[in-house]
Amino acid sequence: MKLYRFLTGPDDATFCHKVTAALNKGWSLEGSPTYAFDAATGTMRCGQAVVKKVRGKKYDPDMKLSEQ
């Protein structure tokens, strides 16, 4: 099965660490990152889609994707 996640976070090192952790767990970048101003908080936000192929499992909407 192929899994999809969209990682988001503030424009700081925590976002980079979140993406790095996903890459080190076998996830791959999918598409370009996004960058937008959050008017509610007055900060910039980042986003990046990641995908991962997992063999031997079937998709379940209750699964925690971050644990795959």
Note the pLDDT tens digit of each residue in 1-36: 999 999 999 999 999 999 999 999 999 999 999 999
Query: Taking the domains of the chain in order of start, what are their residue ranges?
Result: 2-58
| Those residues with Cβ within 8 angstroms of residue 66's Cβ, 6 or more apart along the chain or in another chain | 5
Q: How far apart are CA 52 and CA 1, in angstroms?
A: 8
Which pTM does this prediction carry? Answer: 0.86
Q: Which pLDDT does position 68 carry in this prediction?
A: 85
pLDDT of residue 18: 96
What's the pLDDT at 32?
Answer: 96
Binned at pLDDT 50, 70 and 90, residue 67 comes out as confident
